[in-house]
Structure 1
Amino acid sequence: MHPNQGWQPQQPPPGWSPRPSVAPAFLAGGLWLLVAVLCFVLAALNSEDGKGVAQTPEAAVALLGLAFGRGVIGNGDPAIVATYVAGGVVLLLTALLMARLGFARWILAGLGFLVSAYYVFAVIRLAVNHGGTLIIVPGIALLLWLAASMVAVIPPVGKAMR
């Protein structure tokens, strides 16, 4: 049979590569959605009925900024607001991440590593001040923020942004 007759397998042109999968971007987005939900749940648990952080002390220790003490944070209301704001910012940036806008992943990663550092401080402060039974919720928050931040910076997520 002549080489020009019949079906011939097509070779891709040189330099061509298949389009990367968008699944890593949606995986990262899903983790950031969990972070946003966590922020909203923590803030909502402590803002009902006007009781503030006295309502659920086990969850209140995971509010952003509450580990800085009464001299800095006051009565706890700024920590509730900061947690709501962080959840809203993460939710907005997650929508941009899922729309595959690359800058959103870096902003989320920077925010995530910053908040993770705060939660490390909060867990250490609770351990030093004999609040060992209260470490669970900040520990879970630390792991979730850190996992979402680390997934956001891995190369497959960057490739999915293209």
Structure 2
Amino acid sequence: MHPNQGWPPQQPPPPNWAPRPSVAPAFLAGGLWLLVSVLCFVLAGLNSEDGKGIRQTPQAAVALLGLAFGRGVVGNGDAAIVATYVAGGVVLLFAALLLARLGFARWILAGLGFLVSIYYVFAVIRLTINHGGTFIIVPGVALMLWLAASMVSVIPPVGQAMR
């Protein structure tokens, strides 16, 4: 008996046919950016309760955006708390756009992420030079999270998932 008896012969797919790319990389990148946003809100929230400012949790305060520039630039630390809140809000907005698979959002997030990663490298180096070895942990974790989210955002599978 012939194997195709009763069934039409199967045709190969057209030569330019390709399976649709997975959307999982876009959701992975969006999830990492949501973690970055949560980190920003937690860091800023820990240091803005009860009016104590950055004296409340000094180990977490060193990870606030801008605090490594010194008292002459930042003042009492309120500007760093606000900058961290604003960065968390901007990241949350563009992470939602990334999860909606709008391609421009990943490039804006990647640019912001690499810029903040450079700041955290500066903060870790400054803490190391000033003998603040016990304070490096939180900025180091923040650096790794910002850098990981930025790097995942620019890989080609994330770009293919945006289509």
TM-score interval for Structure 1 and Structure 2 normalised by the shorter chain? over 0.9
1:6 paired with 2:1, answer no
Map of 1:25 onto structure 2: 26
Per the alignment, residue 82 of structure 1 pairs with 83
Aligned partner of 2:68 in structure 1 is: 67
Question: Could you state the TM-score of these two structures normalised by the residue count of structure 2?
Answer: 0.96
Q: Distance in 2 between matches of 1:81 and 1:101?
A: 27
CA deviation map 1:35-86 (0-9, x unaligned): 0000000000000000100000000000000000000011100000000000
Q: Distance in 2 between matches of 1:9 and 1:3?
A: 9
Root-mean-square deviation (Å): 1.4
Give 5+ residue unaligned stretches, structure 2: none
Work out the CA distance in 2 between the residues paired with 1:27 and 1:49. Answer: 36
Instruction: Check 1:4–1:16 CA distance in 2 against 1; reply closer, same or farther (3 A cut).
Output: farther
| Identity fraction in percent | 81
User: Structure 1 unaligned runs (5+)?
Assistant: none
CA 86–3 in structure 1, closer or farther in 2 if over 3 Å, else same: same
Stretches of 4+ aligned residues off by more than 6 angstroms:
none
Per-residue CA deviations over 1:6-41 (Å, capped at 9, x if unaligned) read 232232222121110000000001111100000000
